[in-house]
A and B are shown apart, each in its own frame.
Chain A
Amino acid sequence: MNAVYYISSVVAVVATVAAVTGLNAVHSLLYLIVSFLAVALIFFTLGAPVIAALEVIIYAGAIIVLFIFVVMILNLGDVAVEQEKRWTVGKMWVGPALLALVLMAELVYVLFQQTVHHLPGAGPIQPQDLGATLFGPYMLGVELASMVLLAGLVGAYHLGRRRQPDETAQERQEPVDAGARR
């Protein structure tokens, strides 16, 4: 089991790096799916089989698919790949990489203050326990989560609506300026 964990973690990291640095949107999304599958496997090894399943179903299966739908709607094509090449030049990675490294350093420092815990592993968490906890102490959270989903639904519908012709006419002024302002 430990070996599975370590191999999956390597795969996850590599796939994530590839996703973040990719030039083609669809390729990056596919790499991301691989990353999520690896993370799901990690969840399984850590005794959360329900969550592993949910990761695959919802995260990889719904959210990424939604991304892919939008990319298909936008119909970017090779022009987009060329654009990405221009936009992601090497030296732009330096600053953010530095910030990320500093954050990592802080995290590492905190983690290795403590003694290393080797856990015997009491066994995977059963779905029954999860359900009882979910609808027990975290009942309020569940209701709130449903409201968040409702809000997301309404918001997505409203924001994604194709606007009336006169509304878009006003905003059509901006693109000319926006393109020039570089």
Chain B
Amino acid sequence: MLHLLFLVPILPFCGFVVLALFGRWFDRRQVAAIGVGSIGLSALFALLVGFDFVIAPPAGDHFSQSLWTWINVGGFSPHIAFYLDSLSVIMILVVTVVGFLIHVYSAEYMEDEPDGYARFFACMNLFVGSMLTLVLADNLLLLYLGWEGVGLCSYLLIGFWYTDPANGRAARKAFIVTRIGDTALLVGLLLLFTKLGTLQIQPLMEAASAHWVVGSSITVAAAGLLLGGALGKSAQLPLQTWLPDAMAGPTPVSALIHAATMVTAGVYLIARMNVLFTLSPVIQTTVAAVGAGTLILAGFSALTQRDIKRVLAYSTISQIGYMFLAVGVGAWSAAMFHFMTHAFFKALLFMAAGVIILGLHHEQDMFKMGGLRKQTPLVFWTFLAGSLSLAALPLVTAGFYSKDAILAGAWASDAGGRWLWAAGLGGALLTGLYTFRMVFLTFFGQVQTPFHLKPGLRLLLPLVVLAFLSIVAGFLDLPRTLGNQPWFSDFVHTSLPETKEIAGSVERNLQIVASLASIGGILLAYYFFLREPGFVRRLVMTPLGAALHRFWFVGWGFDWAYDNLIVGTYVRLARANRADVFDLPMRGIALINQAGHIVLSRTETGRLRWYATSVAFGAIVAVGIVVFVT
């Protein structure tokens, strides 16, 4: 069954081609059938391949399938080839299954679109195809192709409602900021190719570990450049500014691209190239530090947002910070586990938020919502399940198990492990706080805007499925202290390095502390936003409170800094060069010709004696040359 692997990425591309070329001649049902069906089939094949891989693992725990030779130039011959190991299996399962659920959801969500229904599904299919190419790629060039493809689709889908210039700006911002990362990634690829002679991932990593010394400058350069690429795509410090603005796109887009899949591409890259990162401890520590910093920063920002989607966006940034923290301390399986659980509950939260937004006629400000728990009970319960998982409620939610694994890994790390663990813990408290602020503001209290929608099966069924997964998926990896069934970790460790273990008692203590942090956050949210909302309101009105609120609201001033330092400088330079000095060599030719013309045209006086004089002068010069020079 493994040889059917190629169908997994190919089917979404087929869906894209059909919808892009012929989409305008299909009606809604056909478009949805093709768009959702291609992902559904892809998910089916992914499940088949996954089962086959788990039940009967191939030799060496990996499977390669080469389709054709892409380029063959002077010893450089990357193939269109797919590489399947446990890491890829997890990725393709999450991408296709969650993607399929989101496609089903968007078949009903996007029904009110006047036109662009086919365009939407074409772009979504292209996205899923590119993402699958990215995670299945056997060599870095194909990975980069997928990387660029998802970036393109992100741009197309953020700016889906292109008639509003604000959406175009958001799409451009996303594309440009990730481009900075992409450039770093490309330079890293070129560096790796020049130094190691191949871009195929497995041989490259073997060559690196054979030839490169741990901690040498070349490893720092290579890993650092790859990290740059990951930072852009995954919206981490300092390239995180694009993700909150990317919420301008439709909610299914936010769910699929900016929560579950594309933004985790950076984590995948680091996990896939783990050898390079372990060869460079400096960079790996940087990864962890960046993750820790980002999760705190985004947590504070999420606490002050009014738009429900922006809260979820900052929450995504924060949770990916956790994943970066995990790979930074070498807890590879914890990172992948958190990726999987995050995909489930974040997609769920976004989709539920989308139903709410639809039902309130596109009202996204939480302070205008309220009391929705009685108006849409199913949405409320599924949203609650997702929120509890996000806040990592102990023992019953998947989020708890994954976050706990990360915190354990952080504690065990050598490089500043205690600080990282403390940041993760603080982040857990913050997560509970902002998540339940969101829940209480939206679903409790007085009804301010009534809910006007009868959600259909296609909207509700994905919510239920993901809610179920958000609870149950955690049981795939029970830690030693709670049952010791590390199926997931064992599966991941067939392709990624082992994580350092810590003593059972230490781990239990850590779990207790983490649980207290999560529950504490939830309780604080209950107190501040349900029982005594006035307290917070008074706090925000004090000078310090207002300043902090403003500072966190604008994402710690990064946008302002980038606008003034980078964009502003460029615009000022462009304005200074208004006369376009650099075009002068080109225009200069024309200008010189014009000046020459003006000068020379004065010699055409039309007067006979002038012409006779010039003839005489020319004759003298000619005679002179003949007589004196030759």
Contact = CB atoms under 8 A, between A and B. Distances in A.
Interface of A: 95-96, 99, 102-103, 106, 109-110
Contacts of B616: 96, 99, 103
A31 B153 CA distance: 98
A33 to B, nearest CB: 24
A99 B623 contact: no
A17 B564 CA distance: 83
Contacts of B624: 106
Given A102-B620, A109-B627, 14 more contacts: A95-B613, A96-B613, A96-B616, A99-B613, A99-B616, A99-B617, A99-B620, A103-B619, A103-B620, A103-B623, A106-B620, A106-B624, A106-B627, A110-B627
A157 B582 CA distance: 64
Interface string B346-372: 000000000000000000000000000
Contacts of A110: 627
Contacts of B620: 99, 102-103, 106
Contacts of B623: 103, 106
Nearest to B624: A106
A103 B624 CA distance: 9
Interface size bucket, B side? under 10
6 contacts: A95-B613, A96-B613, A103-B616, A103-B623, A106-B627, A110-B627
B172 to A, nearest CB: 62
Nearest to A103: B620
A39 B613 CA distance: 26
A25 B627 CA distance: 38
Interface string B618-630: 0110011001000
Contacts of B613: 95-96, 99
Contacts of A103: 616, 619-620, 623
A106 to B, nearest CB: 5
Interface of B: 613, 616-617, 619-620, 623-624, 627
Contacts of A109: 627
Contacts of A95: 613
Contacts of A96: 613, 616
A106 B620 CA distance: 8
A102 B624 CA distance: 10
Nearest to A96: B613
Contacts of B617: 99
B276 to A, nearest CB: 81
A107 B619 CA distance: 12
A84 to B, nearest CB: 15
Contacts of B619: 103
Nearest to A113: B627
A103 B622 CA distance: 11
Contacts of B627: 106, 109-110
Contacts of A106: 620, 623-624, 627
A165 B620 CA distance: 45
Nearest to B616: A99
A126 B582 CA distance: 78
A39 B627 CA distance: 28
A109 B626 CA distance: 12
Please provide the 9 A-B residue pairs with the shortest distance between their CB atoms, ordered closest to farther.
A103-B620, A106-B623, A99-B616, A102-B620, A110-B627, A106-B627, A106-B624, A99-B617, A99-B620
A169 B613 CA distance: 33
Nearest to B612: A96
A102 B627 CA distance: 13
A104 B603 CA distance: 26
B614 to A, nearest CB: 10
A95 B609 CA distance: 12
B591 to A, nearest CB: 31
A180 to B, nearest CB: 15
A96 B610 CA distance: 11
A106 B624 CA distance: 7
Nearest to A99: B616
A19 B627 CA distance: 31
A95 B614 CA distance: 12
A96 B617 CA distance: 10
Contacts of A99: 613, 616-617, 620
B396 to A, nearest CB: 104
A99 B613 CA distance: 9
A173 B137 CA distance: 86
A124 B61 CA distance: 121
B630 to A, nearest CB: 13
A61 B87 CA distance: 117
Contacts of A102: 620
A102 B619 CA distance: 11
A38 B121 CA distance: 108
A33 B613 CA distance: 26
B222 to A, nearest CB: 76
A21 to B, nearest CB: 16
A110 B620 CA distance: 13
A96 B613 CA distance: 8
A96 B615 CA distance: 12
A73 to B, nearest CB: 21
A102 B613 CA distance: 13
A99 B620 CA distance: 8
A53 B268 CA distance: 113
A96 B620 CA distance: 12
A76 B624 CA distance: 41
B617 to A, nearest CB: 6
A109 B623 CA distance: 11
A99 B619 CA distance: 10
